[in-house]
Amino acid sequence: MIKYWFLRPWKELIGHALWNRVFDELELRIDAVAAEHQEVGLTVPYATIDATRP
């Protein structure tokens, strides 16, 4: 995770108009991986992605 501390915030990397589309796609991919491993489907809250350096 340390290597990502110095990247611009995701809100600057992804335009506001694409936020829902990007997170919907991410959630679908995570659910697909979870299904492959017979795990419970997961969701990605915006707060998880928008974490800051402690």
Going by pLDDT thresholds of 50, 70 and 90, the confidence category of residue 29 is: confident
**10 Cβ contact partners less than 8 Å away, ≥ 6 residues apart:** 49, 50
User: Which pLDDT tens digit goes with each residue over 8-19?
Assistant: 777 777 787 888
- The gap from C-alpha 49 to its chain's centroid, in whole angstroms, comes to 5
The confidence score (pLDDT) of residue 47 equals: 47
Q: How far apart are CA 43 and CA 5, in angstroms?
A: 23
Give the integer Cα–Cα distance in Å for 46 and 24.
Answer: 11
Q: Is 28 helix (H, G, I), strand (E, B) or coil?
A: helix
